[in-house]
Amino acid sequence: MKRNAQVCIPVVAALVACLPLLCPAQSPEKRGLEIAQEADRRYCGFKDYTANLRMILRNSEGQTSERQLRVRALETEEGDTQSLCIFDSPRDVKGTILLTHTRQTGDDYQWLYLPALKRVKRIAAQNKSGSFMGSEFAYEDIATQALEKYTYKWLRDELYDGNACYVIERYPKDKRNSGYTKEVVWLDKQEYRTLKVDYYDRKQSLLKTLVFEGYRRHRDEFWRAREMNVVNHQTGKSSRLIWSDFAFRTGLKEGEFNRHSLTRIR
C-alpha cells in the first residue's frame, strides 16, 4: 500500500509544493494526507538502522530513573517495520528484548523475551496505549507511525520555534485501542520533520506534548532527532529519550527479527 505511494512521489511532492497556488479549494483532509505521505516517504527508505537509546523518566517530584537500551529496526519488502529493543539497564531487566512487527493494517505483532527463563512470550496484540517501560511514552508513540493507521486533516501553516510549519491533525483509525482521539502534529515545511505532537486523550483533553530536538541528517538522507521529550500534562511526569550512535543500512536481515532469534541475540 505504502510502496504504491512511492511511485508517484515526484508528482505528490510537486503537488504539495504548489498546492496553495494550484488548488486553493483542496480539502483539508486531502492536504493533511498528502503532507503525511510526504513525511512518511522522507522518513522511510532507510532499509535498516541501529541506535542506542537512553531513557530518563522523571516523576512529578523531580526524581529520575534511567534505562538504557539498544534499538535495531528493519524495513520489510512489504513496507512494514520490524524492530528490536534490547535492554541493558536497569540491570534486573538486562537482556530483556521486545520484538515488534509494525503492520500497516491490522494489529501489530509483539513478543517479549525473558532471559532468566529463556522464554519468549507473545504479547496480546492490542497493547497500543500501554506504557513503554514505565515511561510516559505509549507503545503507539514509539512504534513507527504507519501511514495507514491514521486519517489526517491539515489545520493551518504557522511558525513554530523559528520554522515554517504545517500543522496537521491525525486521528487513530483503531479508536477502541488507541489511547488518543487526536494528535496535532507540527512538521517543518523544509524537510517534513516532526517537531512537536500534542496528544488528546479519550475525553478530548490535552494529555501529553512530545517535542523533538537536535535533528541531524544521517547519510545525507535521513533526518533523526537526538532528543524526544514528552510531558504528561495531567500527571506532571515526563520522559526524555536521548538517541545516539545511529547507523543506517548496516545489513540487518529479516531472519534476525523473529521470535526464534530472540534466544540467540544480545
Q: Which residues bind another protein (CB under 8 A)?
A: 57, 59, 65-66, 89-95, 107, 109, 111, 117-131, 133-134, 177, 179, 201-202, 253, 255, 258-261, 263-264, 266
Cell of 160: 513554530
CB-nearer residue toward another protein: 113 or 192: 113
Q: Per the omega criterion (within 30 degrees of 0), is the bond before 115 cis?
A: no
**Considering beta carbons, is residue 6 or 261 the nearer one to another protein?**
261
- Shortest Å, Cβ 249 to another protein: 18
Measured from the CB atom, the residue of 209 and 258 that comes closer to another protein is 258
Q: Reduce the DSSP state of residue 41 to 3 states and report it.
A: helix
The residue (of 156 and 253) whose beta carbon lies closer to another protein is: 253
Shortest Å, Cβ 237 to another protein: 9
C-alpha cell at 151: 486519517
Min CB(143)–another protein separation in Å = 14
Sequence letter at residue 24: P
Minimum distance of another protein from residue 1's CB (angstroms): 18
DSSP string covering 100-138: EEE-SSS--EEEEEETTTTEEEE--S--TTSBSTTSS-B
How far apart, in Å, are the Cα atoms of 150 and each of 9, 137, 143, 184? 20, 18, 13, 12
